[in-house]
Structure 1
């Protein structure tokens, strides 16, 4: 009895020793998973709306209420500058206008020229662009509006037309400088599209990258400083600031780290004064998150992603054209950046095929498309189709065909048999007649 107890104890100890490494490994995996989750924890920001987008692929990496309507303040001037660059040359002379002189600070006229600018004064277009994007002069935006479209109302129509062309469909622009109007609004996502277009424009991109720049007004040389306070730091290579009481602190930027560019937008952050760094800290936080973000699995290898309608003929090349619904499965993991936009809009679609179901029995690989907002990529899949599926789909036709063939064969055999019997009767009749004549 004691020997049996000892043997059982030894067996139990041995079993525990076998399973303990697995338990430790499982514990280590859990710890690792927690660490990775912690590393991917969302940034804590003040801004009420924010987004980051991979400039090259268009993928949304981070999103916080990015489709809600917000006031953009002076980030509006990215769109204003884009329209200037598309209608004028750097060396063009623009006329300083009455509506430009009426604008409040911050303006070149009030803050630098002590209200000495007069309607009719000539200003170089490139200097106006610098005054718009570096100093964020409210008067420079109206110089652009009046010189490009004749007046601000006509210019707002151009702004809204351009916004729609860029895909910014949830925006409406009234003023060229972004000063508050209840009907002047955008979204973080829309502003990211405008920022991308502005950055793609050589004139705007080069201007946004300047930390300081000289301009000339009424024969006076002025040095403008960029109000993008983190330009050149942490990867910030260009952008536009904005603030009003209603809009709060706003910032639209492009960052570059290790050759990768990401667009960032924060709207309705805190802005106590011009030295308040909250919106810049918000931007750094979402950029740090975005550059370290890892994609997660959206759909796994082998997972079903729907059905495909495939055409074929029951007898390969003969018979009526039929359609069979076959399951489609992935042959790879599909990864994505997890955020509210991608969670809602991600999908995998079958691209269709010209191959018949018979062909797919021997080559089941097919191309699928993973798509989400402003991004799509090709992924691989397979159609889960078997010979038995085609037999089952045409069972009635095949049975009917077999029955008809059996009837035909039976009839042919009967006819042949009847013909043979007829020939035999004729031969017997002939022999009988011959014998009687003898």
Structure 2
């Protein structure tokens, strides 16, 4: 059936006014933050999610994803001369000296990258996968584009941004990257490790620890930390709890060195809110949502063409999480005869869309075909009188004709 599609972007912020029963949104230090249900794609919490921010070492999630897509855990990666020039935290500077030409297995490189956050290892991966850091940054941005990370540009494989202002992303974009990371078995397994034993080809075994202090607590199954002077303290995490999987990001939080607790406190507040938050009614059932105009003939197939405005509504509430984002409504209205209107027969659908989340609901008319009859009662009455008049005239004419015919017969008898 042919459909007319109407797209409207509507802001219904007043319908999302908080109630006494609603859990208050967390008060975070981080200036950008987000929580997304990875199964339903619903954004549960949003704070400046599209503002461009420096991601610091969260960048290494992209570097690790490209390593997983281009190398195998048993492949050897060669440590280049340029990697030795990378600052703290670097494996060769802070764990054990490494000489150019030594190798690391892909598995150990991934562990050092994502657990220890080794800046030199990120450089090594870029050189081995892309041929150079410059070429690898192109691969990073191509991958970002394929993930629809529209507010992202990567310059370095480790997130160091002292020499550039062009290395940035957004909280929302990082959830898109995080979803890809969660789907990649190698990267997902790596960020879930608390410790790992690693070594270079000529070095001793070293034990490294995951810098994600929340790992294993209250459902935290992985994450990545980050910090530079420009970025502030940053954290990406994934939580699994009660059958749900939620990705969370906090950017530009406080780095209270040496305790380093603030960003983790931010994250705990965000996570607890995200798992306890309840949806609120966005559009109520049985209330008029919009009206559609239909054409019809007062008498089917004949008679004048008339129009009728048909209010449509929902048979169930539409509920959404209360965020700063304006939902988009996309209407698809069917071509339907007004004579077939019924309160229980849908006349189309409305799609509610918030970024990657969407759900469709059936629309039902608030009037039936009897409204047409009611609206045209006078017309039908007049039409009936005309018909009665015509029929009466025909009957009278026939009676007169028969009488006249009988008279003629009587004259000739």
Asked if Structure 1 and Structure 2 have the same fold, meaning a TM-score greater than 0.5 normalized by the shorter chain, the answer is: yes
SS at match of 1:340: coil
Structure having the higher Rg: 1
In 2: Cα distance, 1:48 partner to 1:275 partner: 20
Q: Secondary structure at the match of 2:333?
A: coil
Q: What is aligned with 1:157?
A: 138
Instruction: Say yes or no: does 1:54 pair with 2:37.
Output: yes
Partner of 1:203: 186
CA distance 1:355–1:47, shift in 2 (3 Å): same
Q: Which runs of 5+ in 2 are unaligned?
A: 1-18
Once residues 243 and 99 of structure 2 are traced to their aligned partners in structure 1, the CA distance between those partners, rounded to angstroms, is 43
Task: Give the 3-state SS of the residue equivalent to 2:334 in structure 1.
Answer: coil
TM superposition shift of 1:202 = 0.7
Residue of structure 1 in register with 2:397 after alignment: 417
Tell me the residue number matched to 2:65.
82
TM-score when normalising by structure 1: 0.78
* 2:228 corresponds to: 244
Coordinate RMSD, CA, aligned: 3.3
Is 2:226–2:233's contact at 8 Å kept on the other side of the alignment?
yes
Q: Is the 8 A contact 2:343 2:364 kept in 1?
A: no
Of structures 1 and 2, the one scoring higher in RCO (CA 8 A, sep 6+) is: 2
SS at match of 1:302: coil
Match of 1:167 in 2: 148
Q: How does 1:5-154 map onto structure 2 within 5 Å?
A: 34=20, 36-37=21-22, 40-114=23-97, 116-118=98-100, 120-154=101-135
Matches within 5 A, 1:265-414: 265-273=249-257, 275-308=259-292, 315-316=299-300, 324-341=308-325, 345-353=326-334, 355-361=336-342, 363-365=344-346, 367-387=349-369, 389-391=371-373, 402=383, 406=387, 409=390, 413=394
Unaligned runs of 5+ in 1: 1-32
1:256 Cα shift?
A: 2.0
The TM-score with structure 2 as length reference comes to: 0.83
- Give deviations 1:318-372, integer Å, cap 9, x for gaps: 789987542112222222211212xxx2244444335432222363446443332
Higher helix share: 1
Task: Name the CA distance, whole Å, in 1 between partners of 2:83 and 2:302.
Answer: 77
Evaluate the alpha carbon distance shift between residue 54 and residue 322 of structure 1 in structure 2; reply closer, same or farther with a 3 A threshold: farther
**Cα distance, 1:425 vs structure 2:** 6.3
Distance apart, 1:298 and its partner CA: 1.6
Q: Which moved more, 1:57-66 or 1:364-373?
A: 364-373
Q: Secondary structure of the equivalent of 1:126?
A: helix
